[in-house]
Structures are given as C-alpha cells and as structure tokens.
Structure 1
Amino acid sequence: MPATLINDEDVWDRFVDSSPYGTLFHRWKFLKIMEKYSRYKLLPYGIYKGKELACLFPLFYRADKGLRFVASPPRQSILYVPYLGYVLSREFDAWKQHKKEAFTSDITRDINEEIARLAPNYTSIFPVPGCTDMRPFRWSGYTVDLGYTYLMNLERTEEELWSSLTSTCRKDIKDLKAKALQFKQYDDVDRFFEVMKAVLASEGQTFFHTQSPEYVKEIKEAFPENVKMNALYEEETPLYISVTIEYKGRLLMWMAGSASDKYDCGECFVWEQLKDASRRGIKVAENWGTEQRRLCNFKSKFNPSLGMTCIVRKTDGIGKLATMTFNGVTRVPVLSSIIKV
C-alpha cells in the first residue's frame, strides 16, 4: 500500500509506544510542537502491510523563496533533535532477513514517491539508532553517511559504573567531593538559554541563539514525566544545568552546559546524573553528539559503547546552495536572505 497521511493522534502514538524504534521525538504532540517552532509543515505518513500499519514516517516540508526542503527532522539549529526518520513495527525484528529487506525496500519506494511529489531541492533524513540498513536509499540516489552516539549500560551496580570511568574522571569527581555539591531539579528555561548562549557564543548562530525558550517550555509542559531539568548546585547557585529525555527506560542527555566557571564540574554532574538514572531504574543512557573531538574527549571518559547512526541526504543543483548554510556560510548577504532553513 502507498504511504498515506495519518491524522489520528491515538493511532499514531500507540504505534510509537509499541515499537522499539519509537522515540519521544516521534510522539504526536512532540511532532506538532516541532512543526510550530520550525516553520515546516508536518507530513505524518503511515505505510501499511496489507491492512496492518507497519511503519510511520514523519516528514517536514518547507518552501521558501524558491527553495523546497524535506527533512526528518529539520536541522539541529532549529529544533535540536538528533534523529527522527521512520518507526518500524514491533514485529519487524522477528522477521527473516529476506522479509526485512523486502519491506525496507517498500518503505523507501513508497516514501520516495511522496517526496518526489514535493520536488524538494534538498532532502535529509536522520533515522534513529538501530535503523542502519540504508542500502535502499543509496540505491535510490541518496548519499548515506555514518554517524555515532554514545551509549552507557546502567544495569550495573554503582561500583561497576564507578570503576568503568577513567582514572582522571574519577579524580576530578573526588576533587569536588568536599564542596558538598547537590544534584537536584531545575526549572528556569530562560536562564538556561542565556547560559547556553554565553557558552556557545564563539560558535555563531546555534540553536540557543535562533530558537525561543518557549519551545523547550512547551515540550516540558506536554511531557512532564519525560522531559526533566536538573542542575548541580553549590548552595543555591546552579553550576551545571541539563535537559534530559526519559522514554522506554532510556535516558537521552539532550542539552547541557556549564552555568559557572567557578569549578570544572562537568564530570561530577554527569556522574550524579548517571547515578540518579540508575537508581530510578533507567537501563540505558545516551550521550549523543559525537562529531566534535573536544566533546568526545569529555564524553568518552565515562566508558560508553559506540552506537552507529546513519545520515541520508539528496540534493539537486539548486539544493547545493542550501547545503552551504550547514557549513556556516551566512556571511554571504544574498544567501543569508534566501536560505533560512
């Protein structure tokens, strides 16, 4: 059956909740918030196998000043969403390989037909970790690149988690023990955005410079049990702040930054975060964002395993101009006025 638009929130969310590939980003309300704050139009496609819904594929579309974009999700500087792409049914993993490959080819064919109708100049899809067979997309003319994420198994004792850290990481944490720092809830989204703007000032127009704090506030309000903010405090002063997402026993370390230069307390904060999540029964922690060496040097101190992700793109001649913005070419006035994806 060809891809079909689904506008039933209950049907959509039941499928996302039941699938091992579904994330909080795929939930209906999250998608609608992304639509609201991205200026893209949400196209919530479903793909059926016979009469059974077997795949969801949320796409976002935008046409602006002669350029057309299809993305899943729109880029990070707009929404700060690491991946989206398609959600496979819970039965998929039990299928034999021949059936899996035939269905993945069907998904690619059906969604490509819908994308072709939109005639985008630039298409980008960032599937969730675990969706790694991108051959049908490559055979359809897409470029497929590898991405990575860090995963930490929290189904271990606290002693095992501690011993897995690097010796320098353990030392940095011990050095702050006498400060009696406290890990607890934090709620000031506006202050967090100001902190992150200052931390990332040298990196240009990041998500925190281009997006409104109302975006995160609305997400927190829609998912109070899943989206949490915490900080490492010295008395009443927050030193390090984060926003995390919890869903299906998995913790995503979504946003974080230092709120003070008094102490170098990043290692201590992450350690407290991992302990807290483990004590509450979280099974896996994901510390995404592995493309910058300086960040990897920090994140790898916690001895994560390396998970693989994929990045799928297609562009035409006009679309190549749009990709220039991904490389920071906002200093060209003509392009800056046209390409605001």
Structure 2
Amino acid sequence: MTNIEKYRKYSKENRNIPLYSRDWWLDATCSEGSWDVALVEIDNKIVASMPFYIKKRAFFRAITLPKLTQTMGPYIEYPKNQTLYKRLSYEKKIMNKLIEQLPKVDMFNQSFHHNITNWLPFYWQGYKQSTGYTYIIEDLSNMDKVFKGFTSSTRNDIRKAEKNGIKVIDSEDIEAFYEIIKLTFKKKKLKARESLEFIKELYLKAKEKDAIMMKFAVKDDVVYSVSLCFYDNKTLYEIMAGSNRYINLLGSQQLLKLEVMRFASEKSLSFDFEGSMVEGVEYRNRSFGAVQTPYFNITKIDSKILKLLHC
C-alpha cells in the first residue's frame, strides 16, 4: 500500500485527526497541486502522520497550505503515562522521522495545529518559526455563561438584531451564500478569493461526511449575514463568513455568531473563529470572549533565488 492508501484507512479509523488533515479535505482543497503524507509506524501501526501539499509556483516547488486551510503539521499518538522528559524525547524521535520523509522542495511553509507546542526538532533541522493567533472558545456547555462573557456592546447588538426581527436559519443555498461573500469583498474593492465551483465541491464533500453547517441571518427574505462552518469531532471552524455591508446590518453578524456557537454547544464542540491576524477582525473575535491561542508557522527556504528574494 502507498502512504496515501494507508492514511486513508487510518483517517477513517481515527476520528481525532483534525479537520484540515483529513483525507477528504485534502482531496477537495489540493486541486491546484498534489498532496502526500509522511507516516511513522511502530509494529505496523501508524503512530504519527504529516500530510503535505505540494504546489508549483513558476519554476519553484513549495510545500504550503491548500485553500481555506489554516493549519496542518504533525499529528502524533503518544504512549500512555509518559513523563514530560519521555514525551519530549518521543516527539523529537517522531518528528525527525517525519522530516526525513518530506520531499526536497524550494520552500516549506506550513502552519501547525495549535496542539503542537514543540517545534524544536524542526528548528534543529534548519526551519524557522513565527507565531500566528486564532481565537477559540473551548467550553460552550453553558451558553448563558458564554453570553455573559461577550462585551456589553456585542450583547446589545444581539438584542438589537432580535428586536429588529433578524432571524437565523439553516441553509444549503451555496449560490446565495456566495453572493454575500462577493459583496463582502466588493466593499473592500477586492474579488472573492475562491470560486463558486470550488466552494460547491468542498461543501458537497463535507456534506457527505456530515462535517458542515451553514447559517444565514435574514429578515423578510433578505440575507444580511452568512456563516459557513466545518467541523471534526472536537471543533467547529468558521471557515468563511460575510455580510451585505451595503445595508444596515442591525446586529445580524453578532446574532449569527451566537447561533453558530449554539450549534457547536449542542454537538459538544469548541468554536474556532479562524484567526484573525487582521486588527479589526481580531477585535471582533475577542469581543465574544474568545481566548487568543497561538500556533506556529514553520518555514524553510532552500532555493538560493528565493532566499535572496526574502532577504
């Protein structure tokens, strides 16, 4: 069996692999390149995996992140009852074996899942690191408590939306969703990054896996705000969201976010706001009481030309 064939079987059997590293997600998001996976096996049992996406850029080959994918990196299964010393030694051994299997490319650029807190083995192999942040609410079991953690202005916006007749509904209308996304980018004088066809394909694959949720904030059949989320067995990730900023939003964004959290609460999931490093978005995410959570961006440039360009 090839590593990909082994990984597909492993991915089906292991529900703890994060969303962005699952085989079906990679199939849907790596259409502009190809993906493969490094595996570490002990006694014919996979104990670690590291999918990677290879994309050609001009004359260069790069390992990078696919579309709409925030993090990848190593996924490691640990022996039970390890001391901290043994755990770190085990991580060094496993990560070195994963690194050895990565193909030779001109540039490596991956962000690791926030659960990975040790990148030293990569540092010792010549990689560099910078820190990104996402915002997460881990415990949504008590939504009254979560609501009290919102800023007063956010709570007031939610009450305003309810008073003005904004309703939050489930939807499968990808075209309507995409129209709002286009309006969001148009207001910024930009074009939507992803095509409608790409979003449709990803939506359908996720629906097959029961791993998607889409909600609209509406009033009188007018769509005010939209949210597209995907989830694994631990976390709900808001991958895309937008609003029709050409109308008065009446607090629809905040009410929609609350209902998305209720969905996560009902499934006993945490909620990942998916960033952002953008100052205005960061403030909005923080206003919901989310916890700033760091993750590592790991890079390495082997091409002499790219090294000069990045000086």
Q: TM-score, normalised by structure 1?
A: 0.81
1:41 and 2:58 aligned: no
Change (3 A) 1:258 1:135: same
Q: Helix, strand or coil: the match of 1:169?
A: helix
Change (3 A) 1:61 1:277: closer
Contact 2:227 2:256 in 1 (8 A): no
Separation of aligned partners in 2, 1:220 and 1:94: 40
Q: Helix, strand or coil: the match of 2:30?
A: helix
Q: Helix, strand or coil: the match of 1:13?
A: helix
1:309 and 2:292 aligned: no
Further displaced range: 195-204 or 158-167: 195-204
Separation of aligned partners in 1, 2:189 and 2:309: 18
Separation of aligned partners in 2, 1:133 and 1:97: 12
Which of the numbers 229, 239, 243 marks the counterpart of 1:254?
A: 239
> How many angstroms does 1:204 deviate by?
7.3
Contact 2:35 2:52 in 1 (8 A): yes
- May I ask how many residue pairs the two structures share in their alignment? 305
Which of the numbers 11, 14, 20 marks the counterpart of 1:13?
A: 11
Percent of aligned positions that are identical: 17
Flag structure 2 segments of 5+ consecutive residues without an equivalent.
none
Separation of aligned partners in 2, 1:183 and 1:6: 40
Change (3 A) 1:296 1:62: closer
What residue in structure 2 maps to residue 84 of structure 1?
A: 72
> How many angstroms does 1:64 deviate by?
4.5
> How many angstroms does 1:107 deviate by?
3.2
Change (3 A) 1:148 1:102: same
Separation of aligned partners in 1, 2:39 and 2:309: 28
Change (3 A) 1:196 1:94: farther
Contact 2:183 2:243 in 1 (8 A): no
Task: Note the aligned Cα RMSD (angstroms).
Answer: 2.4
Q: Helix, strand or coil: the match of 2:180?
A: helix
1:142 and 2:127 aligned: yes
> How many angstroms does 1:322 deviate by?
7.2
1:161-310 alignment, distance < 5 Å: 161-201=146-186, 208-209=192-193, 211-224=194-207, 225-260=210-245, 261-264=247-250, 265-278=252-265, 280-310=266-296
Separation of aligned partners in 2, 1:231 and 1:250: 20
Separation of aligned partners in 1, 2:14 and 2:308: 35
Which of the numbers 59, 63, 78 marks the counterpart of 1:66?
A: 59
Flag structure 1 segments of 5+ consecutive residues without an equivalent.
325-341
Change (3 A) 1:194 1:88: same
Separation of aligned partners in 1, 2:275 and 2:38: 28
Q: Helix, strand or coil: the match of 1:146?
A: strand
Separation of aligned partners in 2, 1:182 and 1:212: 28
> How many angstroms does 1:230 deviate by?
0.8
Q: TM-score, normalised by structure 2?
A: 0.88
